[in-house]
Structure 1
Amino acid sequence: MVGRRLFAHRVAAPDRALDWRRGDWDELIHAPIAVPAPVEAVLHTYLASFGLVFGCFDFVLTGDGDNPEHWIAIECNPNGQWGWLPNAPAITEAFADILSTEGGGRS
């Protein structure tokens, strides 16, 4: 999440390994996923409560993801890596928008 913009992906290993980080990152399956409105609202509240404009949230999905109860929060990384994601250019643009409109001119 960058500002008010949400970028959500389901990441999975082709062999359905529980920890996809241990496999070949070039083989990972990325799929955009819709975040249920109640979950998105909590993410905005979380960032605002800590005075953050960015956070990489990790979840485990226990179902298909359309039900908020399927989303189990693991962590928010306020310095998370996102350059490897398929929509990295859009995330970069969101950062540029934040810096040019909200951070521009601040000393």
Structure 2
Amino acid sequence: MDWRSDYDAVSCRVTRCPASVTEAIARYLSVMGLRFGAFDFIVDDHDRWWYLETNASGQWGWLAEACDLPMTDAIVAELLARA
């Protein structure tokens, strides 16, 4: 599945990760020795989160723009806090 094949059909909405997902992401980053990762998930109709992949240098700028989110500021602040 490649969502880019029909970009006009893609929708996004702001949501909060369940605590279990947030904790799993933090563990993954720690184990892999990463300070950043772009995590891809699908959330199904039953609100189940399905992990797809992690990109250590994933692209997220398009998502920040599509959802009008201050992701750049948040990522920079997080990276600087850990420097």
TM-score bracket for this pair, using the shorter chain length: 0.7 to 0.9
> Does the 8 A contact of 1:47 with 1:53 survive in 2?
yes
Output the amino acid matched with 1:84: W
Q: Which residue of the partner structure matches residue 80 of structure 1?
A: 58
3-state SS in 1 of match to 2:13: strand
> Does the 8 A contact of 2:41 with 2:51 survive in 1?
yes
Unaligned runs of 5+ in 1: 1-17
3-state SS in 2 of match to 1:59: strand
Question: What is the distance in 2 between the residues matched to 1:76 and 1:88?
Answer: 22
Percent identity between the aligned chains? Answer: 33
Specify whether residues 99 and 75 from structure 1 end up closer, same or farther in structure 2 by C-alpha distance, changes over 3 A only.
Answer: closer
Output the amino acid matched with 2:26: H
Question: What is the distance in 2 between the residues matched to 1:64 and 1:56?
Answer: 23
Compute the TM-score of the two structures, normalised by the length of structure 2. Answer: 0.75
Q: Which residue of the partner structure matches residue 40 of structure 1?
A: 22
Q: Which residue of the partner structure matches residue 59 of structure 1?
A: 41
- CA offset digits 1:6-45 (Å, max 9, x no partner): xxxxxxxxxxxx64221135x5321012211111110011
In the TM superposition, residue 59 of structure 1 has moved relative to its aligned partner by: 1.6
> Does the 8 A contact of 1:82 with 1:88 survive in 2?
no
Q: What is the number of residues matched between the two proteins?
A: 81
Output the amino acid matched with 2:61: G
In the TM superposition, residue 79 of structure 1 has moved relative to its aligned partner by: 0.7
In the TM superposition, residue 55 of structure 1 has moved relative to its aligned partner by: 0.7
Question: What is the distance in 1 between the residues matched to 2:26 and 2:70?
Answer: 19
In the TM superposition, residue 73 of structure 1 has moved relative to its aligned partner by: 1.1
Q: Which residue of the partner structure matches residue 23 of structure 1?
A: 6
Output the amino acid matched with 2:24: V
Structure 1 stretches of 4+ with a deviation exceeding 4 A read none
Q: Whose Rg is larger? A: 1
Compute the TM-score of the two structures, normalised by the length of structure 1. Answer: 0.61
